[in-house]
Amino acid sequence: MTASGTTILNELTLAEARDGLKAKAFSAADLTRAHLAAMEKARGLNAYLVETPDQALTMAQAADAKIAAGEARPLEGIPLGIKDLFCTEGVATTAGSKILEGFTPAYESAVTANLWRDGAVLLGKLNLDEFAMGSSNETSAYGDVVSPWRRAGSDTRLVPGGSSGGSAAAVAAHLCLGATATDTGGSIRQPAAFTGTVGIKPTYGRVSRWGTVAYASSLDQAGPIARTVRDCAILLGSMAGADARDTTCADLPVPDFEAAVARGVKGLTIGIPKEYRVEGMSAEIQALWDQGAAMLKDAGATIREISLPHTSYALPAYYIVAPAEASSNLARYDGVRYGLRVPGKDIAGMYENTRAAGFGREVKRRIMIGTYVLSAGYYDAYYVRAQKIRTLIKRDFEEAYAAGIDAILTPATPAAAFGVGEKGSGDPVEMYLQDVFTITVNMAGLPGISVPAGLDAQGLPLGLQLIGRPFDEETLFAAAQVIEDAAGRTRLPPAWWA
């Protein structure tokens, strides 16, 4: 790091910024101002739905006071973007939906409260697919997010992935040092892979869901997206923790994730699941996967092929379980107490008008699928069978881990980012296939990390995924760091949007 005069503060990693603040190389207010300026120039990316400059500066100044008093907390003065699925007290929260237009929570989500407790600064709320349903950030009621990445020699607008598209784009474009995100079927890992950033979905139960708008409760889990493995480890350390208000949240201490980053992989056994070598996988992805395995092997890990036989059932089972839960979770958006209300001739009319106007196409589709699979006469054939498949998928992983596998390496996505409007407009399944490598991890409740491992032929980032044992995020950080070190951090192309 050079002197603050020549350092572009918002391009630091979170760890570098933390150390710089501690060394008083620059102030938290300067760091925040650098981000606010970058955000202003990058509005064309549509990553932020709400910017909170006043609040950000107030929080930054408070952080400077703490630093001056020698009372700096773990994230003191670190400016972050918050996915607009996390309720923030006094700051509008929309979940990317018209139905929550005008809703300002009177409470702070557990995750964001933990971040503010540790001294972080709120820059604003980040765009996302509506109710986190999507893989391209095109289902947001507030417009598409555009990726800061472009194919070499092309100005085609690319998607940042989804549903945490705003988070991934903002982190990649240096509009925050890190961002919160959520992952129900791949919504952290896929956008991280598309934008050359690192994203971890922790074990189900590692992070409290309290105050985060629910999509599919048994699958939803919050995690960070950041520019390095270390930054992710630092952020997860603050986001995670037991919470009596979420009974599915594990009562476990939070390990020192940052310390785990330097552990290396010597002596670990990494599984390569043959079922992930899906039909039609590109040579490019296969090569990336092989390179990843080689990187881990070079660092001292043993590579072993494994079998996860029920993998192919995960995606269809997910599209029963997740919509079923969503159809019930989204029933509360009825126009009675908060958010949008469109009058009707009677109460049923009001419900119909409100929900017709308030929900977008993809959300409606999933509510209808979910309602259908839970209906009398269909429940056993769909929901019950999907839950059985879920148990089998979980067992696949348990058997692999019992056989001595420490972590599993897979591609994060079937390909690099695609163009806005290119996929899913006709057949939604085309979009659902984006999550083919990530969805098993949610179904099994396991931790998974996506780490950049190289670029495709058109210069777009590609990611690899590591899947771990329950509550063993530490091994994932260690292994992901090995890949990050070997592959080198992806460097964003020049800021064409600014």
Quick one: which of 22, 24, 332, 361 contacts other proteins (CB under 8 A)?
A: 332
Q: Which residues contact 135 (CB under 8 A, 6 or more apart)?
A: 129, 161, 162, 163, 186, 187, 190, 424, 431, 432, 434, 435
Which residues ranging from 206 to 265 are in contact with other proteins (CB under 8 A)?
Answer: 209-214, 216-218, 244-248
Q: Least CB distance from residue 354 to other proteins, whole Å?
A: 11
Q: Tell me whether residue 113 or residue 407 sits nearer to other proteins (CB atom).
A: 113
List residues with catalytic annotation.
Answer: 83, 163, 187
Question: Which strand (E) or helix (H) includes residue 172?
Answer: helix 165-172
- The answer to whether the beta carbons of residues 176 and 79 sit under 8 Å apart is yes
Q: Tell me whether residue 347 or residue 402 sits nearer to other proteins (CB atom).
A: 347
Quick one: which of 27, 32, 109, 413 contacts other proteins (CB under 8 A)?
A: 109
- Write phi, then psi, for 180 (nearest 5 degrees): -85, 155
Which residues ranging from 454 to 493 are in contact with other proteins (CB under 8 A)?
Answer: none
Q: In what order do the strands lie in the sheet with 48-51?
A: 48-51, 121-126, 79-83, 178-183, 221-226, 198-201, 448-455, 461-468, 407-411, 269-273, 302-306
89 binds other proteins (CB under 8 A): no
Mask for 342-371, x = binds other proteins (CB under 8 A): -----xx--x-------------------x
24 binds other proteins (CB under 8 A): no
- The answer to whether the beta carbons of residues 454 and 193 sit under 8 Å apart is no
- The answer to whether the beta carbons of residues 97 and 127 sit under 8 Å apart is no
The alpha carbon of 114 is separated from its chain's Cα centroid by a whole number of angstroms, namely 17
Q: Least CB distance from residue 375 to other proteins, whole Å?
A: 6
Quick one: which of 331, 357, 402, 495 contacts other proteins (CB under 8 A)?
A: 331
Judged by CB under 8 A, the stretch of 31-39, 336-344, 415-423, 440-448 that binds other proteins is 336-344
Q: Which residues contact 187 (CB under 8 A, 6 or more apart)?
A: 129, 132, 135, 162, 163, 164, 181
- The answer to whether the beta carbons of residues 445 and 387 sit under 8 Å apart is no
375 binds other proteins (CB under 8 A): yes
104 binds other proteins (CB under 8 A): no
- The answer to whether the beta carbons of residues 66 and 73 sit under 8 Å apart is yes
Q: Tell me whether residue 209 or residue 366 sits nearer to other proteins (CB atom).
A: 209
Q: Least CB distance from residue 84 to other proteins, whole Å?
A: 11
Is residue 273 exposed (0-12), middle (13-18) or buried (19+ Cβ within 10 Å)? buried
Mask for 284-323, x = binds other proteins (CB under 8 A): ----------------------------------------
98 binds other proteins (CB under 8 A): no
Question: What is the spatial distance between Cα 368 and Cα 375, in angstroms, rounded to a whole number?
Answer: 11
- The answer to whether the beta carbons of residues 30 and 9 sit under 8 Å apart is yes
Q: Tell me whether residue 54 or residue 380 sits nearer to other proteins (CB atom).
A: 380
Binding residues for other proteins, rule: CB under 8 A, are 86-87, 93, 95, 100, 103, 105-107, 109, 209-214, 216-218, 244-248, 324-325, 327-328, 330-332, 334, 336-338, 347-348, 351, 371, 374-376, 379, 383
